[in-house]
Amino acid sequence: MIAPARLAAYETLLAVARGRADLPSALARARGPLRDERDRALAGEIATGTLRWQAAFDRIIARFSNRDPARLDLEILSILRLSLFQLLHLDRVPASAVVDDAVEMARKAGKRSAAGFVNALLRRASRERDKLPLPGEPRDAADRHAAIEYLSTTLSHPRWLVERWFDRIGFDATAAWARFDNQPAPLTLRVNTLRGTREALGDALAKAGVDTEPTRHAAAGLIVRAGNPLMTPLADQGFFVVQDEASQLVGEFVNAQPGESIFDACASPGGKTTQMAAMMRDEGLVVAADVRARRVDLLASTVKASGARSVRIVRADARLPLPLDPVFDAVLVDAPCSGLGTIRRDPDIRWRRAPSDFESLAAIQRAILGNAAALLHAGGRVIYSTCSSEPEENEAVVAAFLEAHPHFELTRELRTLPFKDGLEAFYGASLVNRPGLR
């Protein structure tokens, strides 16, 4: 009998490979029938790890089979990839069990003729795990060709992306960034300071069997080191939300003050919305907007759980002029973006994005930024942020906005970088409306 976790991981990877879903939604669907929490965790570990190391696995498949992986049936390719992850990165599963399950999965997928191929390739990979056909780290970091081969194949990142990073920051920083992306991301919480302090929540979680430590940079964050806070009674009481540390720094960057009025243009799922309300001590007004009904519902759920009374929710499309007066002290535009700064947490993003995406994304980002900034009174500030690593979505969007709106001034920037800060790559810019600059 095939292990339930492996079947769920296979279904997840196949859905992602076919372009039917992103990793979070595909994984949620595949894990739904699993009742054992250990199976759910293992399915997530296999699917996520397989996507992290996909390029390395494809090189192994190509060299051991003399076939282009792109020409294999997606079912067989997905089975080989997830099995290689288990053989090479998980030591608690016997190799024989992994291979046997892979062969049975091939048969179950209606690919009985490929069962022998799957068996032979995986057994060879298991035997030769200490001498895999992967590029080694270049002796000369300035050797661009060797560096890109290593970064894109052995460290499993899209060639076009590591070429950009290599040309921008050099080999050492790019390699550190890629290694960061290939490490499992810790579960990070933001304490809801409307309901208590970081110290009090840490103590309460410890009593519930969850070990945490304070984040290094964010003022109200906790990193989970052991245990699952989402399985404790505290999870349903609004004491915390799951929010990456870099994302928390963007919320802090807004510098929301008690009594202010703030417009949050792309607010769902509501982490930064409720963070700003807490920073304001729930004194003032946060108008939180999103465009899709399902995301508005998710936003409303997050706000309700937080207990914030200063938040008002509206459904609005910030890509279009907004029907509100210019009365706000601050506007947050946490813009839809490529998500390339969050590859560690969402490894499928590295394979779903392409350089051609930037033009259309930047057009949307410029439109939202311009429409949202129109809601500021004189002296108000707009904070533009993304979870992208790429300048087309960050500095270039800000520069285009400033050129079109000369009465705005760039006053501060925020940048988090994996190789420098040990955090996902986020960007923020604070722009102040100064009519006298016209």
**pLDDT per residue rounded down to tens, the chain (438 residues):** 788 999 999 999 999 999 999 999 999 999 999 988 899 999 999 999 999 999 999 999 999 999 999 999 999 999 999 999 999 999 888 899 999 999 999 999 999 999 999 999 999 999 999 999 999 999 998 899 999 999 999 999 999 999 999 999 999 999 999 999 999 999 999 999 999 999 999 999 999 999 999 999 999 999 999 999 999 999 989 999 999 999 999 999 999 999 999 999 999 999 999 999 999 999 999 999 999 999 999 999 999 999 999 999 999 999 999 999 999 999 999 999 999 999 999 999 999 999 999 999 999 999 999 999 999 999 999 999 999 999 999 999 999 999 999 999 999 999 999 999 999 999 999 999 998 765
Q: Which helix (H) or strand (E) holds 366?
A: helix 357-373
- Residue 386: phi and psi, rounded to 5, are -145, 165
Provide the pLDDT for residue 3. Answer: 87
Rounded to whole angstroms, the Cα distance separating 236 from 306 reads 10
Residues 81 and 10: their CA atoms lie apart, in Å, by 9
Name the residue with tokens 């806070």.
Answer: 229
Digit-coded pLDDT (tens) for 196-239? 999 999 999 999 999 999 999 999 999 999 999 999 999 989 99
Answer for the pair 180, 422: CB distance below 8 angstroms, yes or no.
Answer: yes
The backbone torsions φ and ψ at residue 311, rounded to the nearest 5 degrees and listed phi first, read: -95, 135
pLDDT of residue 293: 94
Which tens digit of pLDDT belongs to each residue from 159-192? 999 999 999 999 999 999 999 999 999 999 999 9
- The pair of structure tokens assigned to 150 is 């290593």
Residue 93 confidence (pLDDT):
80
Residue 229 and residue 203 in contact, taking contact as beta carbons nearer than 8 Å: no
The helix (run of H) or strand (run of E) holding residue 250 is helix 245-253
CB atoms within 10 A of CB 102: 25
- E strands, 153-233, are 188-191, 211-214, 221-226
Determine the number of helices (DSSP H) and then strands (DSSP E) in the chain.
18, 11
432 sits in which H/E element: strand 426-433
User: What is the structure's pLDDT at 2?
Assistant: 85
Spatial distance between the Cα atoms of 26 and 106, rounded to a whole number of angstroms: 20
For 81, 104, 403, the CA distances from 1, given in Å and listed in that order, are 20, 8, 63
Q: What is the pTM of this model?
A: 0.94
Catalytic residues: 387
The model's pLDDT over 83-127, given as tens digits with 9 standing for 90+, comes to: 999 999 998 888 999 999 999 999 999 999 999 999 999 999 999
Measure CA 202 to chain center: 25
Nearest one of 359, 404, 413 to 381, comparing CA atoms: 413
H or E element, residue 249: helix 245-253
